[in-house]
Structure 1
């Protein structure tokens, strides 16, 4: 590969990332401003959503941290606030006295479902006019491929 080709490849990767990132920021800002997130911040919803997808019904705090875009300390404070609101239960991990596991309460499940239904409609209202069904499938395929490649490194 020539130096010019390598430079072009690097530039294309940077421009692609920039485009993906800017699109994500634009969509997230619009979603955050929508009616679905008047009672709960989007990062709080992310925690509820992640817990709702957990097959065992609970996750350790450090496992939850692997799935959300927050630092460990920010996540700990957020989970504490959600606990005070009665949306999650925190309990010591049975096999590790220092570990904490988290699960949704009934109120947390209900709020996640309520917001989730509205959130999905808001997503569809933004994405569907911009991309055909085939384009959406291709975008999903590409982003999953990118994510898998990053995870494999």
Structure 2
């Protein structure tokens, strides 16, 4: 393949992957998967639930999300007011903040997560065989790790 064909194929592949994700997220949101949270707030709780000790520095949490630093700070503040996370100064940096999932936040994440996983299984199962899901998983992991190895921002 020549460079132009590779570039076009890469663009078409990215567009297809992106549109599939958007289509699925819209279905999940329409089904109320994340209720009583907006999807982005659930994503924060999910990310914290997977982090060691259910806690992350705010800057690291921000890197795993598609939000600006000020937006992430405001979201963490809202989640703290609802008792879902706690914010505290980082031990090693007085300017840094650590965001920790509370028991209430962890329980809500698990509750919402169970519903969301059922929806994911239903939607992917309609379109893909188990073998196709395994292949898609392998390819997306390879893509993510390849981007991380070349110096890109990482997601959990």
Deviation of 1:57 (Å): 2.5
Q: Which moved more, 1:44-53 or 1:59-68?
A: 59-68
Q: Is residue 78 of structure 2 the alignment partner of residue 81 of structure 1?
A: yes
Structure 2 unmatched runs, 5+: 151-156
List 4+ stretches of structure 1 deviating above 4 A.
none
Deviation of 1:35 (Å): 2.2
Q: Show the counterpart of 2:66.
A: 69
RMSD of aligned residue pairs (Cα, Å) = 1.1
Q: Which moved more, 1:49-58 or 1:39-48?
A: 49-58
Q: Distance in 2 between matches of 1:137 and 1:72?
A: 34
Q: Show the counterpart of 2:28.
A: 31
Deviation of 1:119 (Å): 0.5
Q: Is residue 44 of structure 2 the alignment partner of residue 47 of structure 1?
A: yes
Deviation of 1:36 (Å): 2.2
Structure 1 unmatched runs, 5+: none
Q: Distance in 2 between matches of 1:125 and 1:68?
A: 25
- Find the partner of 1:141 among 123, 128, 138: 138
- Partner of 1:35, secondary structure, is coil
TM-score, normalised to structure 2's length?
0.92
Q: Distance in 2 between matches of 1:39 and 1:56?
A: 24
For these two proteins, the number of residue pairs brought into alignment is 150
Deviation of 1:37 (Å): 2.0
